[in-house]
Amino acid sequence: MAKLIGKNRIKTAVFISGNGSNLKSLIFFSKKKISPIQISLVISNNKRARGLNYAKKYKINKFSIIYKNKKNAEFLMLKKLKKNNIKLILLAGFMKILSKKFILSFKHPILNIHPSLLPKYKGLNTHERVIKNNEKFTGCTVHMVNKKLDSGKIILRKKIKIYKKDDAKTLEKRVLKQEHKLYPKAIGKFLSNL
Ligand code: GRF
């Protein structure tokens, strides 16, 4: 990974839609001496996303896109990515599904973090569903993005126990805390294997 450190950090874009707590932890990670990434761009499909405040605070180039027309939105995003010389995309709570065309056009890796132990519980409302199914464990997964939703190669997972007193809210909080540690760890693992 040594070759990525210092000036050669990989230029990274983080895609968000909401709170951006993962974005915050990724920014902290990118500021570490040993970090292999430099976050150069934050893209949001929602101009009111709270996470955009982190981009502002840490002076990172940000871009919100109106997603009325997916084809147009993706075209504009690809243009931005190219202009900023982005070589890695990190999806962090991005609530839009990228088209196959987008994934094929961006010639570099795209990673995502998902709040379940994939391949179980793909899609939305994972915490509600694990509680409803009386699961004993849940967790989070960092995986590569391919054209099938939440189905790309798994890079790392973190398992957590579900307690009797847990509900979707308490689980969300505990899983998020683990997500903030898992994503940087998975990026390090992924990039050192390239
Ligand atoms: C996280 O649980 C992430 O796994 C999921 O969306 C949530 C985003 O949270 N894809 P935040 O915006 O990073 O706080």
Per-residue pLDDT of 26-82, as tens digits, reads 999 999 999 999 999 999 999 999 999 999 999 999 999 999 999 999 999 999 999
Nearest CA to ligand 1 atom 7: 93
Secondary structure of residue 11 in the 3-state scheme: strand
Work out which ligand 1 atom sits closest to the CA atom of 18: 12
Tokens at 58, concatenated: 């840490």
- pTM confidence score: 0.96
Cis check for the bond before 119: say yes or no (omega within 30 of 0): yes
pLDDT per residue over 173-182, tens digit each? 999 999 999 9
**pLDDT averaged over every residue in the chain:** 95
- The pocket around ligand 1, CB under 6 angstroms, is made up of 16, 18-22, 51, 92-93, 113-115, 176, 179
Angle at the Cα of 117 from the Cα atoms of 112 and 121, rounded to 5 degrees: 90
Pairing verdict, β 154-161 and 88-91? unpaired
Q: In the block, which residue shows the tokens 């990974």?
A: 1
- State residue 1's pLDDT score: 46
**To test ligand 1's pocket by mutation, which of 42, 110, 113, 143 has the most ligand atoms within 8 angstroms of CB?**
113
Banded model confidence at residue 2, pLDDT cuts 50, 70, 90: very low
The yes-or-no verdict on residue 150 having pLDDT over 50 is yes
Average pLDDT over residues 84-109: 97
Amino acid at position 60, single letter: I
24 Cβ contact list (under 8 Å, min separation 6): 51, 54, 180
Identify which has the larger pLDDT, 147 or 18.
Answer: 18
- Whether 7 shows a pLDDT value over 90: the answer reads no
Catalytic residues: 114
Question: Tell me, what's the pLDDT at 8?
Answer: 86
- Identify each DSSP E strand in the chain by its residue range: 10-16, 37-44, 61-64, 88-91, 110-114, 137-144, 154-161
How many whole angstroms separate alpha carbon 109 and alpha carbon 193? 13
Q: Give the pLDDT of residue 5.
A: 53
Q: Return the ligand 1 atom nearest residue 92 CA.
A: 13
Q: What is the pLDDT of residue 4?
A: 54
Task: State the distance from the centre of ligand 1 to the C-alpha of 106, rounded, in angstroms.
Answer: 23
